[in-house]
Structure 1
Amino acid sequence: MNIHDNKQQMQQVLTALASGDFAPFRACMADDLVWTVTGTTPLSRTYVGKADVLDHLLKPLAALLDGPFRMVTDRVTAEGDVVVVEGRGQNRLRDGRPYENTYCWVCRFEGGRLRELTEYMDTDLVARIFAATG
């Protein structure tokens, strides 16, 4: 796959996320995906493998949300096998509070699959959300 293919695939994933459809994102993840959440939040660490990402990062977050995770994209840039995404979450927690985090994802593709993702976000917001929900 080339730069254009990687960027186009990520844009399709992001279009689906904007409407709350997570299936294309899950489908593009490699089984050996490595996802790093930066910072010192309860979620910050490196998750190794698609199952680890889904079970220990995305499932706990989804349990706090009132509805599917939604993110709108502000910018997508690609160079080589790397696609960089800037986006804004448009979510609400089950207790009614807004959860509108900002994100920068640095994504590396290999063979048409997402192999690595480093996530930068408002870590203070995540720490406060998890502290308030226990």
Structure 2
Amino acid sequence: MAEAHPSPSHKCTNSATESTRSFVESLFTAVALDNFGASFAEALSDDLVWTVTGSSPIAGTYEGKQTYVDGVLTPLRDVLVTLPVPIVEHIFADGDWAVVNWRSEGVYGKNGANYDMQYAWLMRTEVDEEDDATRKIVEVTGFYDSVKVTAVFEGYVFNTTKA
């Protein structure tokens, strides 16, 4: 019979969990180096569903990679001096899911608002259909400090025109 609470020396793993953990660790290392540049964009599935929690101006659910880029990343690039460099505190992985708890330091809006905060991203990954050696992020629920997000967007006019 399996133990309900394995001893600390027991490590429960499977290949999906290890693949997810490795993918997330590599991604956050790359993102720290290229400041949410190409490495981050390449990790997102075209069918991405990203939920920004809270009540800030960017809170909501974004369906599709380009919708997320246009609705969240582009406005953040517009209002921040530089995007946060993630300082990862914890990564938990289970199968295709991972939770990353990270923080930022020294990040400010162009309006002077402090944007340092704690983040928690609950992410679901999948093996890419075109390249079974590659994982993509397909779903994220991101937890943010709504007060700080709102402050950094003070005075910002969102582009509401549709292409």
Q: How high is the TM-score relative to the length of structure 1?
A: 0.90
Q: Distance in 2 between matches of 1:92 and 1:127?
A: 13
2:87–2:102 contact (8 Å) kept in structure 1: yes
Residues 1:105 and 2:105 aligned together = no
1:17–1:70 contact (8 Å) kept in structure 2: yes
Please report how far the alpha carbon of residue 17 of structure 1 lies from its aligned counterpart in structure 2 after TM superposition: 2.2
What is aligned with 1:7?
Answer: 21
SS at match of 1:31: strand
Please report how far the alpha carbon of residue 132 of structure 1 lies from its aligned counterpart in structure 2 after TM superposition: 5.4
Q: How many equivalent residue pairs? A: 134
Gaps of 5+ in 1: none
Please report how far the alpha carbon of residue 24 of structure 1 lies from its aligned counterpart in structure 2 after TM superposition: 1.3
Answer 1 or 2: higher relative contact order, Cα 8 Å, separation at least 6: 1
1:3–1:78 contact (8 Å) kept in structure 2: yes
- 1 or 2, which has the higher strand percentage? 1
2:50–2:142 contact (8 Å) kept in structure 1: yes
- 1 or 2, which has the higher helix percentage? 1
**What amino acid is aligned across from residue 29 of structure 1 in structure 2?**
L
**What amino acid is aligned across from residue 18 of structure 2 in structure 1?**
H
Q: How high is the TM-score relative to the length of structure 2?
A: 0.75
Residues 1:53 and 2:58 aligned together = no
Residues 1:128 and 2:151 aligned together = yes
Q: Distance in 1 between matches of 2:102 and 2:91?
A: 9
Larger Rg: 2
SS at match of 1:51: helix
Q: Distance in 1 between matches of 2:146 and 2:36?
A: 24
**What amino acid is aligned across from residue 53 of structure 1 in structure 2?**
Y
Gaps of 5+ in 2: 1-14, 128-134, 158-163
Q: CA RMSD in A?
A: 1.7
What is aligned with 1:67?
Answer: 82
**What amino acid is aligned across from residue 70 of structure 2 in structure 1?**
D
